[in-house]
Amino acid sequence: MPLKSLTINGFKSFADKTKIDFTTGITGIVGPNGSGKSNITEAIRWVMGEQSARSLRGDKMVDVIFAGSDTRSPMNRAEVTLEFDNSNHELKSPQENVTIRRKLFRNGDTEFSINNKACRLKDINAIFLDLGMGKQSFSIISQGRVEEIFNSKPVERRSIIEESAGVALFKQKKQQAENKLSETTDNLHRVSDIVSELS
Ligand code: ATP
**For the domain that residue 33 is a member of, what is the CATH number?**
3.40.50.300
Query: Which residue has its alpha carbon closest to ligand 1 atom 14?
Result: 34
Q: Which residues line ligand 1 (CB under 6 A)?
A: 12-13, 31, 33-39, 63, 65-67
The answer to whether position 192 is within a domain reads no
Domain limits for position 9 = 3-134
Q: For ligand 1, atom 16, which residue shows the shortest CA distance? A: 13
| Residue 141 lies inside a defined structural domain of this protein | no
pTM of the model: 0.78
pLDDT of residue 137: 58
Total number of domains constituting the chain: 1
Q: What is the Å distance from ligand 1's center to 166 Cα?
A: 32
37 annotated ligand-binding residue: yes
Whether 87 has a binding-site annotation, put simply, is: no
Long-range contacts of 32-40, Cβ-Cβ distance < 8 Å, separation of 24 or more = 36/12, 38/142, 38/143, 39/8, 39/11, 39/12, 39/13, 39/14, 40/6, 40/8
Rounded CA-CA distance 135/47 in Å is 10
Q: Has residue 161 been placed in a domain? A: no
- On whether residue 9 sits in a domain, the answer given is yes
Provide the pLDDT for residue 106: 96
Residue 10 lies in a domain: yes
Residue 168 has a pLDDT of 73
- Ranges of residues in the chain whose predicted pLDDT is under 50: none
Q: Is 34 annotated as a binding residue?
A: yes
The pLDDT score that the predictor gives to residue 133 is: 67
Q: Is residue 187 part of a domain?
A: no
Q: What is the pLDDT of residue 17?
A: 97
Strand (E) or helix (H) holding 9: strand 3-9
The rounded Å distance from CA 108 to ligand 1 centre is 22
Q: Is 35 annotated as a binding residue?
A: yes
